[in-house]
Amino acid sequence: MAEWSEESDIEVTHQEVADDTEMLELIDANPEEFDFTNPVPAAFAQHSLLYDEELFTEIDFGEIPNYSSQ
């Protein structure tokens, strides 16, 4: 990530946690510090009621110019 950050001038901070529950707790406590996370699909289902879907939003792939589903 360091090379990409240098080339793009975008700072990327990578954080590892023990599991999806811990990650969602961190995001809930500090939502302004996270732009992206990738929990497993089961975590969305498990935690969506707990967090009332306030932490998640759908990705509009049409807004990503270099995205291709091919």
Residue 23 lies in a domain: yes
Residue 42 lies in a domain: yes
Q: How far apart are CA 4 and CA 12, in angstroms?
A: 9
The model's pLDDT over 30-61, given as tens digits with 9 standing for 90+, comes to: 888 888 887 777 776 776 666 666 777 778 88
Helix intervals (H) in 9-70:
20-29, 41-48
Residue 69 lies in a domain: no
Residue 7 lies in a domain: yes
Residue 13: pLDDT band (50, 70, 90) is confident
DSSP state at residue 14: -
Regarding pTM above 0.75, the answer is: no
Q: How far apart are CA 48 and CA 20, in angstroms?
A: 12
State how many domains the chain has: 1
Residue 17 lies in a domain: yes
Residue 18 lies in a domain: yes
Q: How far apart are CA 2 and CA 13, in angstroms?
A: 9
